[in-house]
Amino acid sequence: MSSNDKSGTFQLGNFNLSRLGYGAMQLAGPGVFGPPKDPGAARAVLRQAVTSGVNHIDTADFYGPHITNQIIREALHPYPTGLVIVTKVGARRGADASWAPAFSPEDLTQAVHDNLRNLGVDVLDVVNLRAMFDVHHPAEGSLEAALTVLADLQRKGLVRHIGLSNVTAKQIADGRRICEIVCVQNYYNLAHRTDDALIDELAAQGIAYVPFFPLGGFTPLQSSTLSDVARGLDATPMQVALAWLLRRSQNILLIPGTSSVAHLRENLAASQLTLARQTLEQLNGIAP
């Protein structure tokens, strides 16, 4: 990250990560399906991210499917020393672009090997198991069988670290009895704060929390308070929303996604914002 980056770092397993990373989901086509309109522009965003000091990229082989990982390999392989690629398993895409669970031992093993092949690596840095009991929200259900498969692949040397995505506090606690969990990826942002207590619990345990849709996802955050604060700081509302997340807890790692180099630079500049106590109180009031 640039010398102006104030986000700091977080120790995830044996990786020291800058807290402001990059999410590659938007590099695929519309609906995270099929190829992008401009593959060259997608590769340029990845290269600019790494040039700017980003040292962790979030992806999944079911983005596209396969497309996003192939673009990452084309743009960055051989990967620079210190770059960590975090991927996900547990889902598959239908021919109609639908999302479906892929939790069988065969599905998970195949997904790990697909990620290895399409990323062009011998071992995956971090693999997040995406719970799919409800596609959109955490829902209770046993992850024991699936995590046991991943733990076995870890012992075989194909996976370095294991994380969870779209999960409940109980699933995390149960999962930690099976293998070490280094990170949790859930839906969280300035306006959607269901996981407030969970973030604090994970921070106390030294586990990273990675909010997906940190800027609202397919429905960007809208708030007059957020807009007013941004004007006062001569920043964009999205920069303020990212800066708030960086201040929220030191275990939060951000992976804002974009397919635009200009937007990437804007996101990375969020680490330079300083939010005064009064400003934080205003922003904290946005959530219901």
CATH code for position 51 = 3.20.20.100
> Which pLDDT belongs to residue 217?
76
Split into its structural domains, the chain has a count of 1
Q: Which residues does 227 contact at the CB level (< 8 Å), separation at least 6?
A: 237
Q: Which residues are catalytic?
A: 63
Q: Are 7 and 249 in contact (CB under 8 A)?
A: no
DSSP one-letter string for 142-178: --HHHHHHHHHHHHTTSEEEEEEES--HHHHHHHHTT
Q: Which of 25, 28, 24, 47 is nearest to 37 (CA)?
A: 28
92: enclosing H helix or E strand: strand 91-93
138 SS3 class: coil
Q: Is residue 1 part of a domain?
A: no
Euclidean distance between CA atoms 57 and 46, whole angstroms: 9
Tokens of 170: 């109980």
Q: Which residues does 207 contact at the CB level (< 8 Å), separation at least 6?
A: 172, 181, 182, 183, 184, 251
> Which pLDDT belongs to residue 71?
98
Q: Is residue 2 part of a domain?
A: no
Q: Is residue 3 part of a domain?
A: no
> Which pLDDT belongs to residue 5?
64
Q: Which of 167, 200, 195 is nearest to 181 (CA)?
A: 167
Could you tell me the residue range of the domain that residue 116 belongs to?
9-284
Q: Read off the amino acid at residue 106.
A: E
Residue 235 has φ and ψ, to the nearest 5°, of: -135, 175
Euclidean distance between CA atoms 225 and 204, whole angstroms: 31
The pTM of this model reads: 0.96
Give just the sign of the alpha carbon dihedral 21, 74, 123, 100. Answer: positive
Q: What is the pLDDT along the chain (288 residues), one digit of tens a residue?
A: 544 467 899 999 999 999 999 999 999 999 999 999 999 999 999 999 999 999 999 999 999 999 999 999 999 999 999 999 999 999 999 999 999 999 999 999 999 999 999 999 999 999 999 999 998 899 999 999 999 999 999 999 999 999 999 999 999 999 999 999 999 999 999 999 999 999 999 999 999 999 998 888 777 788 899 999 999 999 999 999 999 999 999 999 999 999 999 999 999 999 999 999 999 999 999 987
Q: Is residue 143 part of a domain?
A: yes
Euclidean distance between CA atoms 59 and 120, whole angstroms: 14
Indicate the pairing of strand 181-187 with strand 9-12: unpaired
Please report, in angstroms and rounded to a whole number, the separation of the first and last CA atoms in the chain: 34
Q: Is residue 40 part of a domain?
A: yes
